[in-house]
């Protein structure tokens, strides 16, 4: 039987990409959700044009537990691609109650803390919960693990990214989650056999190549990095760096209060 996968926030940019990927590579029936049913139906119609019966649409609002329960009934997996970290307790609790696996692509200290607090309950239920499975975070530790598999030993593994929002990007609730990262900013890296102070920022010059070039970059901690030194005993240094500036080098329409 094909899996039934519900995408919370399936009408957004990330949600649509995930839906297309699942439809191409997985034997699954994908359900698109939105707080605007007509928008979910529009996206589902576009994605399902050449895939009859494989893309459905339903109304769901993470702030409305009843609507979310109805949408999740009969699902195999819920993919949270919407900026709904404030409602993680509702989403995660319903997933456990209904026997649905869970994956999110969000980043948020409070969200992570809640999921960590119920980790034993998740394990006892036999459910699979994956958090912070996006690009930023999600990918840095995966890159280190991938590289380590191709060397006899790995001593230093620093990952970095250049975040360029671009021009004329309208405000959305996703900005609020990015602001939460700034509010609870942790900068530690692993060096000398231990993790440094969360407030001790490590500054590096990173050459990103191409039009980006060399940028002054600042350390940023993700929980996914924490297990790496234990997994790879030869590792002496690991961490993540980024330039820490929203917007491209040519400017951005994001209000100044959101820049840092």
Residue 81: strand, helix, or coil: coil
Q: Radius of gyration of the chain from Cα atoms?
A: 20
Q: With pLDDT > 70 as the criterion, what percentage of the chain qualifies?
A: 87
Q: How confident is the model at residue 106 (pLDDT cuts 50, 70, 90)?
A: confident
Q: How many CB atoms lie within 10 A of CB 158?
A: 17
Q: What per-residue confidence (pLDDT) applies to 83?
A: 87
State what percent of residues in the chain have pLDDT above 90.
70
**146: which 2 tokens?**
């991938």
Q: Is the pLDDT of residue 173 over 70?
A: no
Q: With cut-offs at 50, 70 and 90, classify the pLDDT of residue 166.
A: low
Range 83-93 average pLDDT: 93
Is the confidence at residue 107, as pLDDT, over 90? no
The whole-angstrom separation of Cα 69 and Cα 61 is 10
Closest CA to 181 of 235, 223, 146: 223
State residue 217's pLDDT score.
93
The whole-angstrom separation of Cα 217 and Cα 155 is: 21
pLDDT of 37-65, one tens digit each?
999 999 999 999 989 999 999 999 999 99
Going from the N-terminus, what domains does the chain have, and what CATH number goes with each?
3-130 (3.40.50.720), 139-258 (3.30.360.10)
């Amino acid at each position: 039987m094909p899996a039934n996968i519900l995408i919370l926030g399936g009408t957004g940019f990330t949600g649509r990409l995930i839906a297309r990927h699942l439809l191409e590579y997985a034997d699954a029936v994908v359900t698109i959700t939105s707080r605007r049913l007509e928008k979910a139906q529009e996206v589902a119609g576009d994605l399902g044009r050449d895939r009859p019966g494989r893309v459905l649409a339903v109304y769901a609002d993470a702030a409305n537990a009843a609507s979310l329960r109805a949408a999740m009934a009969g699902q195999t997996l819920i993919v949270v691609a919407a900026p709904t970290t404030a409602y993680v307790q509702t989403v995660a609790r319903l997933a456990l109650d209904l026997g649905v696996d869970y994956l999110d692509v969000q980043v948020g200290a409070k969200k992570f803390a809640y999921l960590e607090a119920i980790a034993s309950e998740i394990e006892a239920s036999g459910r699979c919960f994956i958090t912070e499975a996006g690009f930023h975070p999600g990918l840095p530790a995966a890159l280190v693990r991938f590289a380590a598999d191709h060397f006899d030993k790995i001593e230093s593994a620093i990952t970095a990214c250049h975040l360029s929002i671009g021009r004329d990007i309208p405000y959305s609730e996703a900005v609020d989650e990015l602001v939460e990262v700034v509010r609870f900013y942790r900068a530690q890296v692993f060096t000398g056999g231990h993790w440094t102070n969360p407030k001790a920022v490590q500054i590096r010059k990173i050459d990103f190549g191409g039009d980006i070039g060399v940028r002054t970059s600042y350390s940023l901690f993700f929980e996914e990095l924490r297990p790496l030194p234990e997994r790879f005993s030869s590792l002496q240094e690991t961490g993540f760096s980024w330039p820490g500036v929203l917007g491209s080098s040519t400017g951005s329409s994001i209000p100044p209060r959101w820049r840092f």
